[in-house]
Amino acid sequence: MSPNPIKPTDTRQRLIQAAAELFSTLGYARTTTRKIAADAGVSEVTLFRHFGSKKNLFAAVLEEYAGTPDMRSTLAGEFSGDYHQDMLTLGRHFMRVLIERREAMRMMLCEAGHFEEVSEVLGQMPRGLRDGLAAYLRRQIAAGNVQDMDPEVMAQAFFGMFFSYNVAQAIFGESMALETTIDHLIQQFVDIFVNGTIRSGD
């Protein structure tokens, strides 16, 4: 999560930005609604009036800073229909988001095992991405471009390659890095996926 240092004038946005900064530095457990409200320059009552709970505010922070609106836009409108190129476009978007949020991701993953509300919110976002890609794959299957396999399993496999690599980097650091460029890594992941799922000519 990388909030803009300029404080917005909108109260809701000020709360989201203050929460993003605190969640990133202190983690979910140590970030209190009182501290968020104070940093945003509002009362704690105002925070609850806008979001209802810390969990809801956490979800709003992820929605704002985790890159998923951009990812959903990619899934919805930026694809050309060219299967390999579309997967490459999605892979580049997803890898960029994961790299930019790697430190915040490490912190949140560590806390997810201890706080059910964190785990619940974090789980909503990858499910949304998986569902979006699965819908695209269903269209490609119907068009005869992709093998008739379970599109949700395929979507899970695609995102899983990128996610697992970045989780390993977040937890174990550079010792898990591969000796290649990020762009080459993305292309290799995409090639593995596309070559394993594309429908060859009869």
Q: State pLDDT tens for residues 50-71.
A: 999 998 898 888 777 655 555 6
Q: How far apart are CA 56 and CA 45, in angstroms?
A: 15
Q: Looking at residue 8, what is its pLDDT?
A: 52
- Is the pLDDT at 176 greater than 90, yes or no? no
Least confident of 1-10, 18-27, 46-55, 179-188: 1-10
What amino acid occupies position 162? F
pLDDT digits (tens, 9 = 90+) for 103-154: 666 666 666 555 566 666 665 556 778 888 999 999 999 999 999 999 999 9
CA distances from 168 to 43, 162, 173 (A): 39, 10, 7
Confidence at residue 5, expressed as pLDDT on a 0 to 100 scale: 47
pLDDT band at 81, cuts 50/70/90?
confident
Domains of the chain: 11-53 (1.10.10.60), 66-197 (1.10.357.10)
Q: Give the pLDDT score at 6.
A: 45
Neighbouring residues of 22: CB distance < 8 A, sequence distance ≥ 6: 31, 35, 36, 39
Identify which of 61-65, 86-90, 92-96, 164-168 has the greatest average pLDDT. Answer: 86-90
